[in-house]
Amino acid sequence: MLELRNITKRFGNVLANDKVNIVVKPGTIHAIVGENGAGKSTAMRIAYGFYKADEGEILVDGHVHDIETPHDAIALGIGMVHQHFMLVDTMTVAENIVLGAEPGSGIALDLVQASFEIRRLSEEFKLAVNPGSVIERLSVGQQQRVELMKALYRHARLLILDEPTAVLTPQEVEEFFSILRRMREQGKTVVIITHKLTEVLAISDEVTVMRDGRVVGRLQTKETNATELARLMVGREVLLRVEKTPAKTGSAELSVRNLSVTVRGGAKPVKDVSLEVRKGEILGIAGVEGNGQTELMEALAGLLSPSQLSGEIRIEDRDITQEGARLRRELGIAHIPEDRHRRGLLLEFDLAENSILGVHYRHPIVAYAGTFLDNGAIRRRAKEILEGFDVRPANPDLPARALSGGNQQKLIIGREFKVDPKLLLVVQPTRGVDIGAIEFIHRKLVGLRDSGCAVLLVSAELEEVMSLSDRLLIIHEGRIVGEVDPKVATIEEIGLLMTRGH
């Protein structure tokens, strides 16, 4: 169906694809796995005409084709669903689906006929979407269905899906996989780009593994396993399970009583939350994104206005509900935020400057009678963090923007660990981070807990919260709806609490 032959692509000095050969057989689900920056998205974007290869050729149905633009790819029956959805939020489902392939004459937009066709396709592939809905009012799962419909509407025979499950809940993933299987039954070919090994094993027929821009393995899914795939991806043996000893917990470090958060417009994303995090434990909070986790963590970190909060937040014996972020930090709260670009880093600043955020006004960073920044102290601190947390490249003069997501995350984690926190608030610590770095981050978090720090962890990755947490709370629509023991609870049980709240 699709074959990439000796594809090479450079971005500046970076060799993103180095003589890549991929063969996708018709009627199969083909997984392409690899760490971030391995070149899997680049290869598929070349096949879709988003990038132009420097060398090599693309074969579709056995013939060499010049694919210059997405338009050419669409004409050959190739569709692509990008990791970040390519939808116009303010337009309707039908408008998005027909965009660029409008039916009827050039003068009048025939959305009636289009809606008819959309309904027929929905039926055939069991993709429930209402053509008249506006995109921004749809859930992420529904938006993904619109993306699939867009490709099907253009008569795609081959669908390339880039990290399609990153945004879905466990239930939605199941549903999504059954849609993919249905497509395969109907004779479509699917390429799925992912770094989640369990999904590769669950859905694909064949796997291509990439590392550092090269193909390092071509396997039949039946004949491989997670350990082998992880080793191929990372290039060394990888520990997939988190290893930890039972928690030695102490007294309560953080106690929250009846905390509610009110936002502009009167909505309450957090309702009446009470919880306690003890010294030396990791308390996990699992929930579908957008159920109040973000606001809860921001409330604890002091990033919301005290007027938005009701209830009580205590660090040991001190009530800090009315206090701002600076005092909270001085009391020993560290925060690894959800959105590292928005809250975690100043992307245009260099690594040295980023590594002192939060302590930038204190000794020893500020010297000379509290007036000037001490450049020597800044660089020493930056160096310790970059080396201690394996941030690559460890060059303090680079802007934070130049680092990969995983290395940005390691920089933030290093910075927050450096203040010897008593309480660590950590949200999505491994989002968009490679397997190798995930292993590293998990080990560091467990190590911090073992040194007696209280850790409050929010993650949408169920496996992550389950394997890291000593206790696990489930949040649904702003309320804590249950506590489970992560050692005995099942994914199904937690998934149900997350989606239904009971």
Partner 1 sequence: MAEIFTISLIWSTIRLTTPLILAALGGMFSERSGVINIALEGMMLAGAFTAAAVTYAVGSPFVGLLAGMGAGMVIAGIHAIACIRYRADQVVTGTAINILMIGVPGFLSGAFFLSSGSTPQIPKEQLIPRTPIMIAFALVPIAWYVLYKTPFGLRLRSVGENPEAADAAGVPVARMRYAGVLLSGILAGIGGAYLSIGQSSLFTRNMTSGRGFIALAALIFGKWRPVQTMLACLLFGLTEAVTIQMQGVVKLPSGEDIPVQFIHMVPYLLTIIVLAGFIGSSRPPKALGIPYQKER
Instruction: Name the site residues for partner 1 (rule: CB under 8 A).
Output: 50-52, 69-71, 74, 80, 82, 85-91, 95-96, 98-102, 104, 106-109, 150
> Please, what is the minimum distance in Å from the beta carbon of residue 23 to partner 1?
25
Contact 472, 491 (CB under 8 A): no
> Among residues 17 and 96, whose Cβ is nearest to partner 1?
96
Q: What is the Cα–Cα distance from 477 to 471, expressed in whole angstroms?
A: 20
> Among residues 78 and 197, whose Cβ is nearest to partner 1?
78
Q: Which helix (H) or strand (E) holds 232?
A: helix 226-234
Taking each helix axis from N to C terminus, what angle separates 375-388 and 405-418, rounded to the nearest 10 degrees? 120
> Among residues 91 and 325, whose Cβ is nearest to partner 1?
91
> Please, what is the minimum distance in Å from the beta carbon of residue 90 to partner 1?
6
Contact 121, 133 (CB under 8 A): no
> Among residues 109 and 419, whose Cβ is nearest to partner 1?
109
DSSP per-residue letters across 445-493: HHHHHHTT-EEEEEES-HHHHHHH-SEEEEEETTEEEEEE-TTT--HHH
Q: What is the Cα–Cα distance from 2 to 25, expressed in whole angstroms?
A: 7
Task: Measure Cα distances from 211 to 32, 39, 227 in Å.
Answer: 11, 7, 16
In 346-374, where does DSSP find H-type helix?
351-354
> Among residues 45 and 381, whose Cβ is nearest to partner 1?
45
Type of residue found at 492: E
Quote the distance between the C-alpha of residue 20 and its chain's center. 26
> Please, what is the minimum distance in Å from the beta carbon of residue 264 to partner 1?
13
> Among residues 53 and 173, whose Cβ is nearest to partner 1?
53
Helix and strand totals (H; E) in the chain: 16, 22
> Please, what is the minimum distance in Å from the beta carbon of residue 355 to partner 1?
30
> Among residues 101 and 263, whose Cβ is nearest to partner 1?
101
> Among residues 88 and 239, whose Cβ is nearest to partner 1?
88
Beta bridge pairs of residue 424:
334, 455
Beta bridge pairs of residue 459:
286
> Please, what is the minimum distance in Å from the beta carbon of residue 440 to partner 1?
30
> Among residues 11 and 372, whose Cβ is nearest to partner 1?
11
Helix (H, G, I), strand (E, B) or coil at 338: coil
> Please, what is the minimum distance in Å from the beta carbon of residue 70 to partner 1?
5
> Please, what is the minimum distance in Å from the beta carbon of residue 88 to partner 1?
5
> Please, what is the minimum distance in Å from the beta carbon of residue 7 to partner 1?
15
Type of residue found at 154: R
In 100-166, where does DSSP find H-type helix?
111-125, 140-153
Going 266 to 267 to 272 to 277, the CA torsion angle's sign is: negative
Q: Which helix (H) or strand (E) holds 206?
A: strand 206-211
DSSP per-residue letters across 67-111: --SHHHHHHTTEEEE-SS----TTSBHHHHHHTTS--S-SSS--H
> Please, what is the minimum distance in Å from the beta carbon of residue 166 to partner 1?
18
> Among residues 52 and 326, whose Cβ is nearest to partner 1?
52
> Please, what is the minimum distance in Å from the beta carbon of residue 400 to partner 1?
21
